[in-house]
Amino acid sequence: MSDNDQRWYQQPIAWLGIAIFVASMAGCIHLIVLASTHQDPALPNTDSDISFRIPATRESPDPPLAPANEEP
């Protein structure tokens, strides 16, 4: 092999990419473990007909107006 031919493990950018990938995976695993140990608080007013100021049921629409009898 020539002097200009370098192996992948001799490239610092490859190690930087591996380090960033491993750090991001460790962060994801850490957040998943942290989230699984904490309980979510219950939402208030869950028995109401309105959630997040949006009605849970649809109101019936107004009946259509009768067409006006127009004579030409």
Amino acid at 6: Q
Coil, strand or helix at 51: strand
Looking at per-residue confidence, does 25 or 60 come out higher?
Answer: 25
Structure-block tokens of residue 72: 């030409």
Distance CA 52, CA 45 (A): 10
Torsion angle of C-alpha atoms 19, 25, 26, 29, degrees rounded to 10: 180
- Confidence at residue 41, expressed as pLDDT on a 0 to 100 scale: 81
Structure-block tokens of residue 49: 């007909």
- Confidence at residue 67, expressed as pLDDT on a 0 to 100 scale: 73
Domain layout of the chain by residue ranges: 8-37
Tens-digit pLDDT profile for residues 56-69: 677 777 777 777 77
- Confidence at residue 57, expressed as pLDDT on a 0 to 100 scale: 72
pTM of the full predicted structure?
0.50
